[in-house]
Structure formats: structure tokens, C-alpha cells
Amino acid sequence: MLKGRKIGKILCVVTAFVLVVAVAVGVVLWRSYKPMLSIQERANDGVGFGRVTVTSVEELKNGNPWNENMELSTLPVYKNPLNDENYPLLSGGDMKKMRARLLEVVDKLGWDSDTLTVTENELGNLIAKVSGATVSVDQALNVSVSFLPVVSLPERYDFSHEGPYDEADVVDCLKTEYAEFLGMKDPQTEISELISDFYPPRTYSIDFFDGAGVGAKPLLNYHFEQVSFNCNVDGTLFGIWISQADRSHKVGDYPIVSPEKATELLGQGCYLTVVQDEFPGVDKIGKVELTYRTGEWNEYFMPYYCFYVEMPETEGRPGQKDYGLYYVPAVEGKYIADMPDKPAHLTANGIK
């Protein structure tokens, strides 16, 4: 028979072993636990048209680095720290982060931040005026730089409407002139033409994002960290927009579905859209891309597959095609509390 002291030692060893196993199991369960998500969007005054008009499907090309051959099994989801408690204004912005962001941009552009006067406007944005420019940062940490007077690019670069604005000339100019400001290892570009009823009637936006990194890194840079240069067709620069959503509230890395599964869900009506017309069918898909919805009114910054679906031809617009935008959550449905099982429409009062 075992003596009492030996039995006590054995019990201690067994107890310790059980505790170690319990802790290990707890750690595994804790690491595998993922909070439920919501696709709900807060009410806002503008949800967008939800369509793009082109003359051919080739014009749907943009700078998104995603392609169907990328092997991505998970993607991060972030909680938007802003709230709509003071609707129609957003609130919840971190003033310390906002001020630090503003001063960082001012320093990068070579201005003296030590003597800067920073004020807050009625929207809760921080504003600073320097010689020839106004810098502002909003609660979502986006930064706007407005030049007045406008900045002229070197004459050797042709940025006229007839010039090769989508070639390397102006891009190389901006890469060189603002290399330190961009701070990117592998600057990639996206160029878009902006037409408005106001002055100037035609401008161009040259957007930079860092294509360096492996896996999802370029995709995240594209959607969360872009620098846009706003230029007139006469070769002048009138502003810079820096988009950098606050990703400090990471919820976790979530498994995502394949493009094929997303297409299946689209056909079943599991999507978000602004388009009010009847869904034309999956055979009308012109393009699909993996994207993030990062608007200030989104409760979560999470990935979606965006489908560009050709809509019925509109009378009086020969040669033009409308593509409606349909969003299917890329995160596996079991992690989404309100995964749509029928078409969900984005409205000014949220998702209906």
C-alpha cells in the first residue's frame, strides 16, 4: 500500500497536470474565440448612387491589388471607434490622436509645428493654418491639406487634359517631390478623373498606396492608407487628402469565403446594395473585387466582395453601361449576427 505522503505527492502532481491542461485548453479556446459581427451601418444623410457608368467593362479597372489568385484564408476586422450619439454629427474621435496626426503631416510637409495654432470647428475637426495652406484632420483621422494659392508642378510635366496624365510623368514628379512625405517603400498609383458643376470643372486625383509587403498587406494599405493628390488640368496642385482610418480597435482575424462562394451567396440574395432595381442575375457580373467598407458610418471595418453587375440599358444613353454595386460579406456567415438571407438595401436610415 502507498503511504500517505506518497499519495499526497501523486495527488499534487495530478492536480498540477490537470491545471496545466485546463489552462492550455482555456488559452486555445480564448484564441479561437471570435466575437459576432454586424453588417449594420449607422444612419447617414448620403449612401451614394451605387452605380458606375462606363463604355466598356475594361474601364472598371482600378488600383485594388487584390486578385483571385491571392491565397487569403483570413482577414482582419476592426471596430470603428466613432459613434453617432450626436447625430447628424459623428463623435468619439480621439483628440490626442487627431492632434498628433495633424502635427505629423505639418512636419512632413516642412512647416514649423512649434508655433502652430490649432483650433476646433463645429464639426469637431482640428484646423491649422500655415503660410499658403490650411490643414485639417477629422475625427476619423483623415487629413485634408488645401493650398491657396495653388502649387505649380514643374513645367516639364504635362498634366493638361490632352496630355498623358495617366502615364508616368506626373506620377514620377509627385513621387520625387513628395518622396519623404509619402514614406512608402513601393508607391503604387490609382488615377481618376473628377468632373463637377463647380470650379474647377475637371480635376484629377492621383492616389498613392504602398504596395510593399506580402499577403494582405498591400490590400490593407490600399483601403486604409492612401495619399491623394488633387490636381487641376492646368498642371497645378490644389490639395492633398490623406486617408488613414483608425485601426487601433482590432476585433480579430476572421476566416473569409472564396469568390465562388460569394458569387453563390450573391445569387441567393445575400448582399447589400443601394440599387433599387431587381437584381439582373449572376450572369451579368462584369467584375468582382475584394474590398473593405471603411466609411465613417460603418460600425465595423470589414471585408466584402464587391460585384459590379451590368444593369439593363438606359434609354437615351447609347454606348454607355451602368454597373450596379452589390456587396457580399467576405467573412464567413457564422460570425455575422445579421447575415442577410435576402437583399438588404443601404438607406439613409441604415440597412433595410
Residues 322 and 275: their CA atoms lie apart, in Å, by 11
Domain span at residue 284 reads 51-80+249-351
Going by C-beta distance under 8 Å and a sequence separation of 6 or more, which residues neighbour residue 195? 201, 202
Pair 264, 340 in one domain:
yes
Domain count of the fold of the chain: 2
Return d(Cα 341, Cα 270) in angstroms, integer: 5
Q: Are residues 166 and 258 both part of a single domain?
A: no
> Of 244, 277, 304, which residue is a domain's last?
244
Q: Render each residue's pLDDT in the chain as its tens digit; 352 residues.
A: 555 556 656 656 556 555 555 444 443 334 458 999 998 876 554 455 588 888 888 888 899 999 999 989 999 999 999 887 776 677 888 999 999 999 999 999 888 888 889 999 988 999 999 888 999 999 999 999 999 888 887 766 655 544 444 456 778 888 888 999 999 999 999 887 655 555 454 567 889 999 999 999 999 999 999 999 988 777 788 999 999 888 999 999 999 999 999 999 999 999 999 888 899 999 999 999 999 999 888 899 999 999 999 998 765 567 788 999 999 999 999 999 988 877 766 654 556 6
Pair type for strands 272-273 and 344-347: parallel
Q: Decide: pTM greater than 0.85.
A: no
pLDDT value for 253: 97
69 domain residue, yes or no: yes
Question: Is residue 303 a part of any domain in this protein?
Answer: yes
Query: What are the phi and psi torsion angles at 52 (to 5°)?
Result: -130, 145
Residue 345 lies in a domain: yes
In a domain, 13, yes or no: no
Residue ending a domain, among 244, 269, 289, is: 244
Say what the pLDDT of residue 297 is.
83
* 61 and 132 fall within a common domain: no
In 325-347, which positions are buried (b, 16+ CB within 10 angstroms) versus exposed (e)? bbbbbbbeeebbeebbeebbbbe
Is there a single domain that holds both residue 202 and residue 288?
no
Q: What is the pLDDT of residue 114?
A: 83
pLDDT at 50: 82
